Amino acid sequence: MNRNQYDNDISTWSPQGRIYQVEYALEAVKQGSAAVGLRSKTHAILLALKRSSGELASYQNKLIRIDDHLGIAIAGLTSDARVLSNFMRTEAMKSKIMYNRPLPVYRIVSAIGDKSQVNTQNYGRRPYGVGLLVIGVDETGPHLYETSPSGNFLEYYAISIGGRSQSAKTYLEHNYESFADADVDELIVHGLRALHATLQQDKELNTLNCSIGIVGQGQKFEMIQDVDLQRYLDMLGPQGTGDQAAASQGEAPMDTE
Amino acid sequence: MSFYPYTDNGGSALAIAGEDYCLLASDTRQSGEDYKIHAGYVPKAFKLTDSCVYAGVGFSADGVALVKRVRQSIEWYRHAHEKTMSTPALAQMIATVLYSKRFFPYYVGTILGGLDENGRGVVYSFDPVGSFEAELHKAVGSGAELIQPFLDNQVNLKFLPEVERTPLPLDVALQIAKDAFTSAAERDTKTGDYLEIFIIDREGVNVERFDLKRD
């Protein structure tokens, strides 16, 4: 490939109008394990697959609480996610101190976009290697956003990022029309089905490799982990093979990114 | 006519620690220089956690600034440790915050009322630069000299004939607090208007408001 000439630093364009360093950063997000987000009229939820490097290791946390009304799921470089989440926490507190009201979701997401963009245009810097799914509730209701190393961000009804996330997207695309009026439990089951679609053959969702985050009008951001997950996994029913969820829609899941 | 960075906004607060509860009461009057009254209802006491209440009496702006800083620290602690700060930990932290301004102090008499890690009531009191101590009862503010001796007598049963010590029930402590304030409101010009009483127990924090004399 001819891109070796144009991929050495962030401030070089390729003749096709691409900045390869940014695209390489996006690759880091795709290498992370899957995270799914979806929302209804009253709630927004996140579900994530936790990875462990081996039997002796713990499972990496994917969900971070930012404030009572804000939470994120991460995919990519965990250390970069820590920096961004600390930034978000500081901004959330500043908002309460200065304006006496919780930080509107759009504000913090666009602040991350602006912060991320700086690293795509200054020589010697590198983009943040993490994509976030941000859920939050403000005066205009529940929201779900995706942010990326490029500085782009977009609002969604449902989205997934990370490894094999296309399979989850397919499930979400087929089912999103029923999300708006779903109650929290139904939303979670949809999310778990979407997450399940990203699993490799013979793997299953269990209380160790899963985590759920919920925020809603009148409900503070709450994380569900470990034994508390069992009740939702039971609602999911028998998991069978990885094809089960999408196959019930009459289509085999795609295993590509 | 030069700028002086502090003002005394007056007011009083007290806290009483019980066996399984804590009570923190403060008036809500904000006074100005001489005999002026700025407002009748400006709260001085704030809930920090489900097991701790803070009151900062003296220079109102510093009392408010201090509680904002403390609340931020509680939030960062919660992010880092995924749990709420305990009352003794909060007390230690507040002392460090106060001392950090040793050479331009927060002009407040601070008290913390809450439950310790065993669920027993505890009161911490601080001077403006962070010297602190755990006690069973404390009064701060313009009416402190009037209220503290009353608490020594009624809560600690000092200077009364020796009696068997029984734990102070909540309703008795509540009456002591109300009587302390009605008396203080009579004799201290800067105490009055409304009384807010925070009760902290195993169930959480409840607050009630009562009238005080408005003169």
Kindly report the CATH number assigned to the domain that includes residue B152: 3.60.20.10
Q: In which band, very low, low, confident or very high, does the pLDDT at B164 lie, cut at 50, 70 and 90?
A: confident
Count the neighbouring beta carbons within 10 Å of the beta carbon of residue A130.
27
* B1 in any annotated domain: no
- Provide the pLDDT for residue A256: 42
Measure the CA–CA gap between A89 and A94, rounded to whole angstroms: 9
Residues from chain B that touch A97, judged by Cβ atoms under 8 A, are 68, 72
Gap between the terminal Cα atoms of chain A: 20
Determine contact: B83 vs chain A, CB below 8 A: no
Determine contact: A118 vs chain B, CB below 8 A: no
Q: Search chain A and give the residue with CA nearest B72.
A: A93
* B6 in any annotated domain: no
Query: Which of the 8 DSSP states describes residue B85?
Result: P
Q: What is the DSSP string of chain A?
A: -GGGGT-SSTT---TTS--HHHHHHHHHHHHSPPEEEEE-SSEEEEEEEPPBSSTTSPBPP-EEEEETTEEEEEEE-HHHHHHHHHHHHHHHHHHHHHHSSPPPHHHHHHHHHHHHHHTTTSTT-----EEEEEEEEETTEEEEEEE-TTS-EEE-SEEEESTTHHHHHHHHHHHGGGTTT--HHHHHHHHHHHHHTTSPTT----TTTEEEEEEETTEEEEEE-GGGGHHHHHHH----STTHHHHTTT-PPP---
- Provide the pLDDT for residue A25: 97
Nearest CA to CA, how far is B72 from chain A (Å)?
7
Measure the CA–CA gap between B18 and B170, rounded to whole angstroms: 7
Q: Tokens 């923190």 label which residue?
A: B24
- Provide the pLDDT for residue A199: 95
Task: Give the number of beta-carbon pairs within 8 Å between A and B.
Answer: 8
Q: Can you give the residue range of the structural domain that contains B64?
A: 15-211
CA atoms within 13 A on the CB side of A94: 8
Q: Search chain B and give the residue with CA nearest A98.
A: B68
Nearest CA to CA, how far is A66 from chain B (Å)?
8
- Provide the pLDDT for residue A3: 66
- Provide the pLDDT for residue A2: 61
Mean residue pLDDT of chain B comes to: 96
* B3 in any annotated domain: no
* B8 in any annotated domain: no
Measure the CA–CA gap between B49 and B205, rounded to whole angstroms: 8
Determine contact: B76 vs chain A, CB below 8 A: yes
* B40 in any annotated domain: yes
Judge contact between A132 and A73, C-beta under 8 A. yes
Measure the CA–CA gap between B125 and B57, rounded to whole angstroms: 11
Q: At CA A204, angle to CA A199 and CA A205, rounded to 5?
A: 90
Measure the CA–CA gap between B41 and A74, rounded to whole angstroms: 45
Better pLDDT: B124 or A246 = B124
The alpha carbon of residue A195 and the mean position of all alpha carbons in its chain are separated, in whole angstroms, by 11
Question: CA–CA distance from B193 to each of A204, B32, B37, B61 (Å)?
Answer: 64, 14, 10, 20
Question: CA–CA distance from A167 to each of A171, A186, B72 (Å)?
Answer: 7, 20, 41
pLDDT digit string (tens) for chain A, length 257 residues: 566 899 999 999 999 999 999 999 999 999 999 999 999 999 999 999 999 999 999 999 999 999 999 999 999 999 999 999 999 999 999 999 999 999 999 999 999 999 999 999 999 999 999 999 999 999 999 999 999 999 999 999 999 999 999 999 999 999 999 999 999 999 999 999 999 999 998 899 999 999 999 999 999 999 999 999 999 999 988 875 444 444 444 444 444 44
Nearest CA to CA, how far is B53 from chain A (Å)?
19
* B26 in any annotated domain: yes
* B88 in any annotated domain: yes
Determine contact: B79 vs chain A, CB below 8 A: yes
Burial A201-222 (b: 16+ CB within 10 A, else e): eeeebeeebbbbbbbbeeeebe
- Provide the pLDDT for residue A1: 53
* B7 in any annotated domain: no
Query: What pLDDT digit, counting tens, does each position of B9-52 carry?
Result: 999 999 999 999 999 999 999 999 999 999 999 999 999 999 99
Q: Would you call B72 and A97 a contact, using CB atoms and an 8 Å cutoff?
A: yes
Better pLDDT: A59 or B165 = A59
Judge contact between B59 and B6, C-beta under 8 A. yes
Closest alpha carbon to A172 in A253, A63, A75, A235:
A253
Q: Would you call B75 and A65 a contact, using CB atoms and an 8 Å cutoff?
A: no
- Provide the pLDDT for residue A241: 41
Structural domains counted in chain B: 1
**Which residues, 6 or more positions from A90, have their beta carbon under 8 angstroms from its beta carbon?**
none
